[in-house]
Amino acid sequence: MKQLEGRRALITGSLRGIGFGIAQVFAREGAEIILHGLGDAESIAAAKTEILNSGAKRVDVFTHDLRDPKAVEQLVQEALNSGAVDILVNNAGIQHTAPTSEMPSEKWDEIIAINLSSAFHTMRAALPKMAERGFGRVINIASVHGLVASVSKAPYVAAKHGLVGLTKVVALEYANSGSRESGGVTVNAICPGWVETALIESQIQARADKFGGNRDQGIADLLSEKQPSKRLSAPTDIGEVALWLCSKSAHNVTGTSIPVDGGWTAQ
């Protein structure tokens, strides 16, 4: 039997990148998947098809705007209307870099809304039903920037630090829900370092150009500044960590923040 047979997972920001990698792993293990994100009809259809081909029993797609608290609540409610949500992955996030003195105030509001507040609203709506059933998994995709800071990323770092703190609070509130036999309700954060997604491709290419187009050397040069392993994680690597957190054996792993950063935060 596949590990997530009979489970249903809602993953925000999952049409690409880390969220999509998590969806691929969960689909391989037999889960029903609720994809979420913004995209044109063609990209949405392609993502749905690929997740079905990965093994998902069913795939739904929602496009709610996470900047709007009412839309976030509606997203969870619509997901619940068609079945239980056993696993919630808060992955959606955006970034904008600028010195604090030059950061547009609207970017602060937007990043906090999507990267932090939306996770509060999804958990607030989904967790009571998980507690009733005695099983639930919430996995918040934070970042190494939920543990350490970098310049020119004030709203992103603030949001990710906030997400780590929020994870701890909600984990405590639901720690005694369910049992070892039912699996319990856990709330954890994963804190990735550099992950190979389209988001960083331009940075990789710029570094590769320094080495005559050698992409591997470009990646090593980029990562050498902060990630000692000098290796990128794949989105599915993050998915495998998330999969383990969904297991019943992880019933007592809650309130944690797990770095997947090649040693970045060990320095």
Contact 92, 38 (CB under 8 A): no
Q: Which of 20, 156, 174, 194 is catalytic?
A: 156
User: Where do the H-state alpha helices sit in the chain?
Assistant: 17-28, 41-53, 69-81, 105-112, 118-133, 154-173, 201-209, 215-223, 235-245
Q: Which amino acid is at 158?
A: A
Answer yes or no: 174 catalytic. no
Beta partners for residue 36, in sequence order:
62
Alpha helices in 54-94 (DSSP H): 69-81
Separation between Cα atoms, residue 136 and residue 169, nearest integer Å: 16
Catalytic residues, which ones? 156
